[in-house]
Amino acid sequence: MSDTQPTAVLLNPRSHVLAAARKLGAATVTVPEPGRPLPADGPGLAFHSPWTTDPEDLIDRLRALDLTAPVSCFGFGELGCVVAALVNQRLGWPGNPPEAMEAFKDKAKLRSAVADRAGAPVAYRLCTEKGEIRPAVENIGYPCIVKPADGTGSAGVRQLAGPQDLDTYLDSLDFKSPHLVEEFLVGTEYSVEAMSSSAGHRILAITEKATTGAPGFVETGHTLPVRLAPQDEEAVEALVTATLDAAGYRTGPSHTEVMLTAEGPRLIESHGRPGGDRISDMLDLALGEDLFEQAMADSLGLPVPGAPTRDRVAGIRYVTFDRTAPVTVTDAETAKVAALPGVTEVAIAVPAGQLPPEVHRSGDRHGFVVAFGANREELESRLDLAVRTLTAGR
């Protein structure tokens, strides 16, 4: 371990990320997304860069700083993790290879890399032109799933139950990027949160999810950790480990979605970043697992915590308001819900006075509540009370 203070270059960090860096004793260089303000009175260096569209500008500016090792760049969002991998490769800093992040982004490439490493592969066809979708669907059969090959947040995901659905879908599809046609998996969907380090891949928790169902499958809630039958947990862990190995993922958090079918777990998709929807916060609330601290510690050569420190259950539930009336939740009402037992965060996404949108993708959801409990029963009771209080009369 070097005696030099380590430095973490942080791309658009949340407050939790900055807190984790401080806990590790690392110096920070903060680079927010273009258009966002620099941290107010925050420690360390901070500057603006158009890194989301011009990573070369960021690389040049960081090179000019001539930072003393150990140093690494971290981005924990969808784009940030990709740019961080490129920065680290170009500047010779520790991190994931850009090829691993590309494998996660390109769902077809990931399916090809994983193949049959952990059970039966999912049948799929990659369509680079809109005219290829119909024959691909006919090859895979009904029901099937069609989605953008590089999509996120449930955007563009559609279940097709039969030829009529296909005709309607193609008539409305604005095809701008490659799409996947995949076999429809029957079972229970989970996500698996893991941490990769020099010691290997460690499964942190299996997360139960709820969705709107067909045709868009937008996520409406998450609960962690949940326990599966021992043989199922072993098979899920093998699938996730094989997926991360196939992608070449070396260090940091990952979020892998699996369908537990009657024949065992099948891969849906995987990401080289923490799960969205506050899953990283829920891991800390329930288990004391700080993804950000662990990721930075591993890349910077610091001791990495390796075991949970809490034994609770945490969850998030998305709220849906009446779409025929404007949203009228006041700050006082939000504060009342936030003060309920176990509730740690309440957020309303719809501006006051506006009609809530129809939910077609994650970005359309109206708001959410995060809470924890000593067990599943207490958690569900707390979340139910919070959601009912927030939506009462609406």
CATH of the domain at 156: 3.30.1490.20
Task: Kindly state whether residue 20 falls inside one of the protein's structural domains.
Answer: yes
> Whole-angstrom Cα distance, residue 199 to residue 304?
10
167 and 64 together in one domain = no
Which pTM value belongs to this model? 0.90
CATH of the domain at 63: 3.40.50.20
Write down the pLDDT at residue 153: 61
140 and 62 together in one domain = no
Write down the pLDDT at residue 1: 47
3-state SS, the chain, equals CCCCCCEEEEECCCHHHHHHHHHHCCEEEEECCCCCCCCCCCCCEECCCCCCCCHHHHHHHHHHHCCCCCEEEECCCCCHHHHHHHHHHHHCCCCCCHHHHHHHHCHHHHHHHHCCCCCCCCCEEEECCHHHHHHHHHHHCCCEEEEECCCCCCCCCEEECCHHHHHHHHHHCCCCCCEEEEECCCCEEEEEEEEEECCEEEEEEEEEEEECCCCCCCEEEEEECCCCCHHHHHHHHHHHHHHHHHHCCCCEEEEEEEEEECCEEEEEEEECCCCCCCHHHHHHHHHCCCHHHHHHHHHCCCCCCCCCCCCCEEEEEEECCCCCCCCCCCHHHHHHHHCCCCEEEEEECCCCCCCCCCCCCHHHCCEEEEEEECCHHHHHHHHHHHHHHHHCCC
Q: pLDDT tens, 219-278?
A: 999 999 999 999 999 999 999 999 999 999 999 999 999 999 999 999 999 999 999 999
Q: pLDDT tens, 41-57?
A: 677 899 999 999 999 99
Q: pLDDT tens, 132-156?
A: 999 999 999 999 999 988 877 667 8
CATH of the domain at 222: 3.30.470.20
Q: How many domains does the chain have?
A: 4
157 and 240 together in one domain = no
177 and 285 together in one domain = no
Write down the pLDDT at residue 394: 60
Task: Kindly state whether residue 109 falls inside one of the protein's structural domains.
Answer: no
229 and 150 together in one domain = no
Of the candidates 269, 259, 121, which has an alpha carbon nearest to the alpha carbon of residue 188? 259
209 and 294 together in one domain = yes
Task: Kindly state whether residue 103 falls inside one of the protein's structural domains.
Answer: no
Last residue of a domain, one of 248, 283, 311: 311
- Residue 289: give the domain boundaries: 185-311
Task: Kindly state whether residue 100 falls inside one of the protein's structural domains.
Answer: no
Chunked mean pLDDT (size 10), the chain, 394 residues: 84 94 95 91 88 98 96 96 98 97 90 81 92 95 91 78 93 91 94 94 96 85 97 95 95 96 92 95 97 96 89 96 90 94 96 91 93 98 96 73
343 and 394 together in one domain = yes
Task: Kindly state whether residue 275 falls inside one of the protein's structural domains.
Answer: yes
301 and 330 together in one domain = no
Task: Kindly state whether residue 72 falls inside one of the protein's structural domains.
Answer: yes
Last residue of a domain, one of 295, 311, 327: 311
172 and 205 together in one domain = no
Last residue of a domain, one of 311, 340, 355: 311
Contact predicate 67/29, CB 8 Å: yes
18 and 70 together in one domain = yes
43 and 68 together in one domain = yes
Write down the pLDDT at residue 29: 97
Q: Measured at the alpha carbon of residue 208, what is the angle toward residues 203 and 210, in degrees to the nearest 5?
A: 150
Write down the pLDDT at residue 156: 81
